C-alpha cells in the first residue's frame, strides 16, 4: 500500500521552495472580491487591509449577528412578560462575548492574514472591538426604544457594557484565548448582577446606580490599558 504523501514535504531535496509554494496557496485561498460592506469600510478607514480584517471578525459574521439579535429579541419578550429588564442585563454579556471573539488566535480563520498585514495588531483589534461594541449598543438601543419597560434605563447599561467589554478584551489578549475572555466577561457580570440582587433585592441596581459609576469607569480603563499592554509590539533584542 502506498503511504500518503504530504505535499508540503514531498518536494524536499528536489529544489522546490515549499514555503513559497504554500504562501501562494494561502494567497489564493484568502483572495476574494471585496463586497459592498468591505468597500465602504475601506473608504472610511482608508485601509483595504484593515477593512478586510474588520469584515472577517468572527463576532461580526452573519451567523453571530443572527444569534445576537435572537438573544435580544428573547430578552425583549421576557421583559414584556416578567417586567424584569432583561435586555439591559443581557446587553453587557453579549457585548463582552462579542469583544472577546474579536480577538484572533484560535478562533479567527483570517488571523494569519491579519497578522501578516502592514496594519498593526493593535489597530486591527481596536477597529474590531469598536465595531462590535457599536453594533451591540445599537441593538440594545433599538430594543430599548421598542420596549417600554426598558426605555427609562436606555443609557444605564452602556457604562457596564463598556466595563464588561474591557474585561473580556483584557482577559482574551493576556491569555491569547477568546474563550477565556468570554468566561471572564460572563463570570464577572454574573457576579455583579447577583451581588446587586442579593444586596438590594433588585436586578436593576447594577444598571442604574450612581455609586457604581466609578467602579465601572475604573474597570473599563484598567481593562483597556491591560489589553493595550498585552498587544504591544515586542522589542527585538540583538
| Burial of 68 (C-beta count, 10 Å sphere; 0-12/13-18/19+) | buried
Average pLDDT over every residue of 64-69: 86
Question: What is residue 112's predicted lDDT score, i.e. its pLDDT?
Answer: 58
Retrieve residue 204's grid coordinates. 436593576
Higher pLDDT, 50 or 21: 50
Higher pLDDT, 124 or 16: 124
- Measured CA distances, 155 to 41, 99, 146, 162, 180 (Å): 27, 19, 14, 12, 28
Retrieve residue 13's grid coordinates. 531535496
pLDDT > 90? residue 167: yes
Residue count (the chain): 238
Handedness of CA 86, 87, 88, 90 (dihedral sign): positive
CA 16/CA 61 separation, integer angstroms: 38
- Measured CA distances, 238 to 205, 231, 232, 233, 235 (Å): 54, 21, 19, 16, 10
pLDDT > 90? residue 222: yes
Average pLDDT over every residue of 231-237: 56
Question: What is residue 8's predicted lDDT score, i.e. its pLDDT?
Answer: 46
pLDDT > 70? residue 236: no
Average pLDDT over every residue of 57-62: 80
- The whole-chain average pLDDT of the chain stands at 75
120-137 pLDDT, tens per residue? 677 778 888 888 888 888
Amino acid at each position: 500500500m502506498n503511504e500518503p504523501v504530504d505535499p508540503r514535504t514531498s518536494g524536499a531535496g528536489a529544489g522546490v521552495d515549499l514555503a513559497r509554494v504554500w504562501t501562494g496557496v494561502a494567497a489564493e485561498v484568502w483572495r476574494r472580491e471585496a463586497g459592498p460592506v468591505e468597500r465602504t469600510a475601506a473608504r472610511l478607514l482608508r485601509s483595504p487591509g484593515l477593512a478586510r480584517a474588520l469584515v472577517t471578525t468572527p463576532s461580526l459574521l452573519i451567523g453571530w449577528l443572527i444569534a445576537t439579535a435572537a438573544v435580544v429579541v428573547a430578552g425583549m419578550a421576557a421583559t414584556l412578560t416578567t417586567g424584569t429588564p432583561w435586555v439591559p442585563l443581557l446587553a453587557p454579556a453579549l457585548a463582552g462575548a462579542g469583544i472577546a471573539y474579536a480577538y484572533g488566535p484560535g478562533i479567527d480563520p483570517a488571523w494569519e492574514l491579519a497578522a501578516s498585514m502592514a496594519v498593526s495588531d493593535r489597530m486591527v483589534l481596536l477597529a474590531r472591538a469598536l465595531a462590535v461594541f457599536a453594533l451591540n449598543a445599537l441593538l440594545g438601543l433599538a430594543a430599548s426604544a421598542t420596549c417600554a419597560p426598558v426605555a427609562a434605563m436606555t443609557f444605564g447599561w452602556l457604562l457596564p457594557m463598556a466595563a464588561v467589554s474591557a474585561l473580556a478584551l483584557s482577559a482574551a489578549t493576556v491569555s491569547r484565548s477568546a474563550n477565556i475572555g468570554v468566561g471572564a466577561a460572563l463570570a464577572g457580570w454574573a457576579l455583579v448582577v447577583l451581588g446587586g440582587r442579593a444586596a438590594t433585592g433588585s436586578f436593576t441596581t447594577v444598571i442604574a446606580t450612581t455609586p457604581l459609576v466609578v467602579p465601572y469607569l475604573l474597570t473599563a480603563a484598567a481593562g483597556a490599558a491591560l489589553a493595550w499592554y498585552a498587544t504591544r509590539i515586542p522589542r527585538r533584542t540583538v
